[in-house]
Structure 1
Amino acid sequence: MKVTFQGNPLTLEGTQVKVGDTAPDFTVVDNDLNPFKLSDTKGKRVFLTVPSLDTPVCDTEVRRFNQEAAKLGDVTIYTISMDLPFAQGRWCGGAGIDKVKTVSDYKDREFGKNYGVYIKELGLLSRAVFVIDENNKIVYVEYLNEVTEEPDYDKALDALK
């Protein structure tokens, strides 16, 4: 799949997933530099992939999902980026993010490739939203065609209901 960044075409590597698929496993790194896998999660989950937390659109997106998470109760929201875990922790503290958990794909790029969001030319993750149910089935996917656009928050949140 091709995506654009400010109108410039880019290439996504990896295998894209679709609704009904079993969520592929992955290993990323948590903010304490520990391995973090899909099997470390349970229940209803949202995985957001963003290029970098320290950019305006990513900041807006994560803040919005942080606000929504407070209302959802039984849902865990994770944001995955290539930002180093130290930077993720610092950004969350500065932004007051306390409901969304951040993890980093900087080390192996496994999430990016297993979910088809790794941008070959930039070494970053493309913007996407994945909603996974209690049985590890994907119930909602949104791959954004333009990396600088925000996701459809309402559709993602509706998929959790």
Structure 2
Amino acid sequence: MEKRTGEVTMKGNPITLLGKKLKVGDKAPDFTVQDLDFSAVKLSDFSGKIVIINAVPSVDTSVCSAQLHRFNSEAAKFTNVAILSVSADLPFALSRYCAADGIDAIKVTSDHKDLDFGLKYGLVIEALRLLSRAVFVINQQGKIVYLEYVDEVSHEPDYTRVLNAVKAL
């Protein structure tokens, strides 16, 4: 398993990420995560759509919550776009969070079981078994057209660049 140290920091300290770092132009690896009812969700379930993947460490942090709220509010502005949020939180916690915070326009999923998404997208924080913060935009042909591995885990992504990448498709 590939290990990368220092590309991303947490509170200014370098962290080690597990998995391969992807780049624009790569075919987006298929993955399996769990829906709020523990059923399997795969990237391939959204074939033919533009997909935004919003990866966050945990919905129980203010930055992650703000990120989910932002993408939830942006979802209504697009057609033929699926927005997936992925964290290593348990589906029980995600379900409670979504119900309490009105997150209903995006698909919120859990990578807790196998870290299949996190390892394939190079986002597993080795010391914490959480995902690092990142956003990927995948076109209808399954290619990554935009990505941002957020360099400081406590920072939000550049929403303008993400949304412009989607609008350009």
Q: TM-score, normalised by structure 2?
A: 0.92
* DSSP-derived class of the 1:97 partner: coil
1:77 equivalent in alignment to 2:56: no
Task: Indicate yes or no: 2:9 matched with 1:9.
Answer: no
* Residue aligned with 2:95, SS: helix
**Following the alignment from structure 1 to structure 2, what is the Cα–Cα distance between the partners of residues 36 and 73?**
20
Give structure 1 regions of 4+ aligned residues with deviation exceeding 2 angstroms.
none
Which SS does the other structure have where 2:85 is aligned?
A: strand
Q: What is the number of residues matched between the two proteins? A: 161
Relative to structure 2, which stretch is displaced further, 28-37 or 48-57? 28-37
State the TM-score, normalized to the length of structure 1.
0.97
Q: Which amino acid aligns with 1:60?
A: A
Matches within 5 A, 1:30-45: 30-42=35-47, 43-45=49-51
RMSD: 0.9
The share of aligned pairs that are identical, in percent, is 53
Whole-angstrom distance in 2 between the partners of 1:104 and 1:38: 13
In structure 2, the gaps of 5 or more residues are none
SS across alignment from 2:51: strand
1:64 match: 70
User: Which residue pairs with 2:137 in the alignment?
Assistant: 131
2:34 aligned partner, one-letter code:
V
Cα distance in 2, alignment partners of residues 47 and 54 from structure 1 = 19
Q: Distance in 1 between matches of 2:110 and 2:104?
A: 17
Is 1:151 the equivalent of 2:157?
yes
User: For the residues of structure 2 that align with 1:87 and 1:73, how far apart are their CA atoms?
Assistant: 29
